[in-house]
Amino acid sequence: MFWVSVTGIFALRQAIPGDVVVMMTPPDTEPAVRNAIREDLGLNDPVHVQYFEYTTDLLGGDLGYSHFTSTEVEALIAPRLGPTVELAFAAMFVAIVFAIPFGIISARNRNSKTDLSVTLGSLVGVSTPNFWLGLLLVLLFSVWADLLPVARRPIGLGTGLAMLFTEGSVSGLVSWLRHITLPAVTLGTYYMALLTRLTRGGMLDELGQVYITVAEAKGLPSVLREYKYALKNTLIPLVTIVTVNIGGLLNGSLIVEAVFNWPGLGNLFLSSINLQDWPTVQALLIIVAAAYVGMNALADVLYTYIDPQVELQ
């Protein structure tokens, strides 16, 4: 699957118009020089030869060279991974922390006003575009209330923790928290709404199962019935959604990172497309593919822990 993606990415580059050598060279470069560069880059080789070299480099861990920044693509991507991972997990944390309680409350109070409110909230959350919500939150909490910063990430989580342990200062962590709050809420809102719906639906299904009725007949307390058994079974589809979507989030959220100037992979992807920095775009697409494949595999592994009926073969 991963290799299919790599091949697709290679084919995409071949299909997109534009001569990379024209982009690489100053306007007054002589055609002979351009041709020499084309030759050296192997662009005059047959496509199957180019494909072989491309995949060989990839297997050797060589993602290419960004001519725009005079940097190896690996070096360009490395500092972006941290911010993207932070944002992905923070967003999912926001989503899970709110979604599961909301879903349970909603299920336990089926068809009540509380249930309707949670359902309506979930619908709005799923339907709200990220960019709009981000701008709205910035207007509310940054521009008008002046509570949180508009954008940027001056301090990373690692630096904040290092400051805490080496200097005993919490200012780094506080700064990080202040800067990540709005992007995490913006990005997490959609998943919060989605997981709330799934939790509610799953809980309702499980609470209607025979084993719950039997447990109730045997006098098992409702806390155990609902949280130890029903909720655990509800978590199985949630794990799929969470892990697969973390895979997506790890590729960087283009819109949220752009709105909040968050220096992650999504922002790099956007700027690389704008700058037609193809080696970087290709590398990021490969990371997208790898993240999806990796997180799907992780979801399979987690199934075996949550559901004993599932076994890895």
195-234 mask for other proteins (x: CB under 8 A)? ----------------------------------------
Work out whether 60 is an interface residue with other proteins (CB under 8 A).
no
Q: Strand pairing partners for 66? A: 71
In the complex with other proteins, the residue whose CB is nearer, 25 or 119, is: 25
Nearer to other proteins by C-beta: 155 or 288?
155
User: Whole-number minimum distance, CB 118 to other proteins, in Å?
Assistant: 31
Any contact of residue 44 with other proteins (CB under 8 A)?
no
| Piece of 186-194, 222-230, 272-280, 284-292 that binds other proteins (CB under 8 A) | 272-280
How many Cα neighbours within 13 Å face the side chain of 4? 2
Beta carbons within 8 Å of 200's beta carbon, 6+ residues apart = 102, 103, 104, 106, 107, 115, 118, 119, 122
Residue 19 or 53: which CB sits closer to other proteins?
A: 19
Our finding on whether 181 is near other proteins (CB under 8 A) is no
90: left (phi over 0), alpha (psi -120 to 50) or beta: alpha
Integer Cα distance of 242 and 121 in angstroms: 20
Consecutive H or E run containing 96: helix 73-108
CA 37, CA 44: separation in Å to the nearest integer? 10
Neighbours of 250 (CB within 10 A): 23
CA distance 86 to 287: 17
Among 64, 103, 125, 172, which residue sits at the site for other proteins (rule: CB under 8 A)?
172
Quote the DSSP letter at residue 313.
-
CA distances from 241 to 126, 199, 234 (A): 14, 11, 12
Please identify, using beta-carbon distances, which residue of 185 and 198 lies nearer to other proteins.
Answer: 185
* Residue number with CB closer to other proteins (27 or 168): 27
Q: How far is the CB of 2 from other proteins (least distance, A)?
A: 26
Q: Quick one: CA dihedral 91, 94, 97, 98, positive or negative?
A: negative
Query: Does residue 166 belong to the site contacting other proteins (CB under 8 A)?
Result: no
Stretch that binds other proteins, among 19-27, 101-109, 240-248, 283-291 (CB under 8 A): 19-27
Binding residues for other proteins, rule CB under 8 A, total: 61
How is 56-88 classified by DSSP, letter by letter? Answer: HHHHTT---EETTTTEEHHHHHHHHHHHHHHHH
The answer to the question of residue 50 lying near other proteins (CB under 8 A) is no
Q: How far is the CB of 24 from other proteins (least distance, A)?
A: 4
User: In the range 77-136, which residues lie near other proteins by CB under 8 A?
Assistant: 79-80, 135
**C-alpha span between 110 and 295 (Å, rounded):** 33
Q: Does 138 contact other proteins by CB under 8 A? A: yes
Asked whether position 267 contacts other proteins by CB under 8 A, the answer is yes
For residue 141, the minimal CB distance to other proteins (Å) is 10
Least distance between other proteins and beta carbon 152 (Å): 6
> Cβ distance 34 to 41 under 8 Å?
no
Q: Please give the residue ranges that form the binding site for other proteins (CB under 8 A).
A: 16-19, 22-31, 33-34, 36-37, 40-41, 65, 67-72, 75-76, 79-80, 135, 138-139, 142-143, 146, 149-152, 154-155, 171-172, 175, 178-179, 258-261, 263, 267-268, 270-271, 274-277
